[in-house]
Amino acid sequence: MYSAEYIQTIIRQKLAEAEYDREPHGLYEPIRYMMDLSGKRLRPALCLLACDLFGGDIKLALDPAVGIEIFHNFTLMHDDIMDDAPVRRCKPTVYKKWNQNTAILSGDTMMALAYEYLMKAPAFALQEVLKEFNRTAIGVCEGQQYDMDFETQTEVTIDDYHRMIRLKTAFLIAGSLKIGAIIANAPPEDAGKIWSFGNNLGIAFQLKDDLLDVFSDHNKFGKMKGGDIAINKKTYLYLKSLELANPAQKKILKKYLSPLFTDQKAKIEQVIKIYEELGIRDHVWQEMQKYHLSAMSFLSQINVNRDRKSEISKIAGQMLIRET
C-alpha cells in the first residue's frame, strides 16, 4: 500500500516527463504552460489511490491518471475563456497570455491528448475505462452549461445548484476514483461505492471552492476576491443567503447580483456584507460536513480491510481542510 504523498510524487514525476515540445509550438506551448501551473494533482492521485485501495497495480493506472489530469486542465482552459477569467494561480490564463483562438485550439488538442493517455489503460479494462471517462466528460460539459445558464436565469433553486456542481465538479472526482477501481479489477458493487464516495466528496469540495472565493487569503489562492460575485455566479453562498435573508436583504442580494448592476466593487462589497450578516460561512461549512459524512459512509461500506482506507480518507480530509 502506498502513501498519498508517494502517489503524488510519482504523478508529479510522470507529468514532468510528459512531452509537449511537438510542432507547431503555437499549439503545444500553451499546453505545457497550463500543465505546469501546478495544482494539487488531486484527480490523478485519487485515481491511483482507488487502484491501490482495491489491490491493483498502480503502474497500470498511471497513464490513465495523467489523461484525467490533462482533461481537467483542458476544462479549465476553456472555462477561463467562458468565464472571462484573467488570472489562474497568480498567472495570466492562456487566453489572456496568448489569445482566445489559442485557448480554444490548444484546449481541443488537450482533450485528444487526454484520450491518448486514457487509451493506455490495460486491455482488459479499456472499454469500461473509456466508457466511464466519456460519461464523465459529457457530464462535465453539461455541468458547465447549467453553470452558464444560471448567470442569466433569475430563478435558481438549491436543487438546481446541486445538479450543476454534481456534474461540473463531482463527476470528475467520482470518475477518477472509479477508473482506478476498474483498473484494479474491483467488484462492480465496490466500484459503484467508490464512485458515490467521490460524488459526495466532490460536492463538499465545490462548496469549499465557493467559500474560498469570498473567505480566503486571496494572495495565496491566486484569484480575485469575490470573482464569482463579480460575474453573477449563483453559488451555494448566494442561494442559501437568499433562503435565509429577510425581505430587505433579499432585495439587496437580487439587485446587486445581476448583470444589470455593473459597478463591480460595490457589487462585491454589498453581497459580502450580507453574507457576513447571515453568517453564511457556517451554513456552508455545515453543508460541507453533511456531504463529507455521506462520502465517508460510502467508503466504510466498501468491502476492503479498514486499514487500506486510511490514505484515501486522509486525502479526502485534506481536500476539505478549513482554510477559510
Q: For binding to a second copy (CB under 8 A), which residues are involved?
A: 22-24, 26-27, 78, 81-82, 101, 104-105, 107-109, 111-113, 115-116, 119, 123, 126-127, 130-131, 134, 137-138, 141-142, 144-146, 148-149
How near is the Cβ of 45 to a second copy at its closest, in Å?
23
Give me the DSSP letters along 85-127: --EETTEE-HHHHS-HHHHHHHHHHHHHHHHHHHTTS-HHHHH
Residue with cell 491528448: 113
Residue 81 or residue 211: which is nearer to a second copy going by CB? 81
How near is the Cβ of 130 to a second copy at its closest, in Å?
5
Residue 144 or residue 169: which is nearer to a second copy going by CB? 144
Distances (CA, A) of 161 to 115, 201, 240, 319: 29, 16, 10, 21
Residue 120 or residue 314: which is nearer to a second copy going by CB? 120
Residue 37 or residue 104: which is nearer to a second copy going by CB? 104
Distance, CA of 70 to CA of 90 (rounded, Å): 20
Residue with cell 488570472: 87
- Count CB neighbours of 268 within 10 A: 19
How near is the Cβ of 74 to a second copy at its closest, in Å?
8
Distance, CA of 143 to CA of 279 (rounded, Å): 28
Distance, CA of 269 to CA of 202 (rounded, Å): 29
Residue 100 or residue 286: which is nearer to a second copy going by CB? 100
Do the Cβ atoms of 166 and 136 come closer than 8 Å?
no
Residue 114 or residue 257: which is nearer to a second copy going by CB? 114
Do the Cβ atoms of 37 and 77 come closer than 8 Å?
no
Pure H helices in the chain: 4-17, 25-35, 42-53, 58-82, 94-97, 100-118, 123-152, 158-165, 171-183, 188-214, 218-221, 227-230, 236-244, 247-256, 264-277, 280-301, 310-319
Residue 134 or residue 258: which is nearer to a second copy going by CB? 134
Residue 17 or residue 23: which is nearer to a second copy going by CB? 23
| 3-class state of residue 79 by DSSP | helix
How near is the Cβ of 228 to a second copy at its closest, in Å?
17
How near is the Cβ of 246 to a second copy at its closest, in Å?
33
Distances (CA, A) of 54 to 37, 48, 82, 107, 236: 31, 10, 38, 33, 34
Residue 9 or residue 145: which is nearer to a second copy going by CB? 145
How near is the Cβ of 161 to a second copy at its closest, in Å?
14
How near is the Cβ of 76 to a second copy at its closest, in Å?
12
How near is the Cβ of 244 to a second copy at its closest, in Å?
28
Distance, CA of 31 to CA of 97 (rounded, Å): 12
Identity of residue 9: T
How near is the Cβ of 163 to a second copy at its closest, in Å?
9
- Count CB neighbours of 160 within 10 A: 15
